[in-house]
Amino acid sequence: MTRILALAGAVAAAGLIATSAFAQVPLDPATPNFLMWSPELQARGYRTIEDIFQVNTIERGEAVRPLVMADRQIDPTFEHDGRTWTVASYMEAFNVSGVLVLKDGQILLERYGLGRQPADRWTSFSVAKSLTSTLVGAAIQDGKIAGLGAPVTDYIPELKGSGYDGVTVRQLLMMSSGVRWNEDYTDPKSDVASAGATPAEPGMNAMVSYMRKLPRENPPGTVFNYNTGETDLVGILVANATGKSLSAYASEKIWKPYGMERDAIWMVDSTGKERGGCCISMTLRDYGRVGQFMLEGGMADGKSVLPQGWVAEATSAQIDNGDAGYGYFWWMNPDGAYQATGIFGQSITTYRDDGLVIVINSAWPRATGRDLSAARSALITAVHGAAAAP
């Protein structure tokens, strides 16, 4: 329930693309609102974002990490909502463009739909949040961020004297800053609606300008409050700490050394900055490589990109969110998996004990919903069972 409400809030946050302050800039001003695309435009546009919006590039390196087909392939069937499903029937019913299953780094299942080909990218929506938190770990490993206990104001000094005084990097990653934030997408006066319509102070990042005026509501670190604005603050924090754009840093720390197969792209706002909370596009197999990178403890090209123990900590429950718990921009599942999720059906689900990564990219007819999430969970459960079987 908490996750559905949070994703509903993310719908509103993504709606900021239609406003001036955080606009992700379309190349053609006549482009329809990102959240209101027709099924036909979804199927085409989600894999060609660079033709529709301004983007920055996450460059790949020269070497590509191979993903080989496993000797055993799976094609599970499952029961859900009174009928029997196959992977193919699920993909057709729920507008799925790709399903990829990796077991110990080898492909057990790979399917495409909606006209997508293996070289085609697909937008992540809020799956990007989990990558942004991973870049925090990289910046700590590089000594650019002093540690999880470092004050946020050390890296975003404009927040000094605000409700963010005393808030740590860790508390921001847990969505527990204690700063008041209303992500009610039905309320036109909510913060998520107002932030995009409020002019920034001269010379200041628009999100920082808005959020530094918000009051403290709870002691830092005590209450989970889903806050898309703070995921953008984390992106700003990483860029400030490293002196590099998020795209450049992601290329340096993950895309090049881990061997991604294709450049990724990251949509930018009206100032040309990537938002920490949204919208990286990559191939299906590169989504899988992201999950595999986490499974392998953040190692790339034989080196530790992340601090020792970072992955275990980031992908385990750090705070009570009313469900199975929340890590550092990663969701915990009741069955022990951890997950990166985005609206309209994007997910990377990882079972660390089984060495299993399950990627699903979709163009759901609605941003989220219990029925949509329940059907996806049924598929994931069936895939998990088939993949883990001897």
Known catalytic residues? 126
Q: Hey, what amino acid is at 66? A: P
Q: Are 384 and 378 in contact (CB under 8 A)?
A: no
Which residue pairs from 193-197 have beta carbons closer than 8 angstroms and sit at least 24 positions apart in sequence? Answer: 193/12, 193/15, 195/16, 195/21, 195/22, 195/229, 196/15, 196/16, 196/18, 196/19, 196/20, 196/21, 196/22, 196/23, 197/19, 197/20, 197/21
What sign does the dihedral 151-156-160-164 (CA atoms) show?
A: negative
225's tokens: 């409050």
Q: Where do we find the tokens 């895309």?
A: 255
In the DSSP assignment, the letter for residue 122 is E
Contacts of 126 (CB under 8 A, 6+ apart): 7, 10, 228, 231, 277, 278, 340, 341, 342, 343, 346
Q: Where are the alpha helices (DSSP H) in the chain?
A: 2-14, 39-45, 87-93, 127-141, 169-173, 191-194, 206-211, 228-242, 246-250, 256-258, 284-295, 310-314, 370-388
Q: Are 70 and 108 in contact (CB under 8 A)?
A: yes
Q: Are 167 and 179 in contact (CB under 8 A)?
A: yes
Which residues are 331's β-sheet partners? 326, 339
C-alpha 258/C-alpha 349 separation (Å) is: 19
97, 133, 98, 103: which is closest to 254 by C-alpha?
133
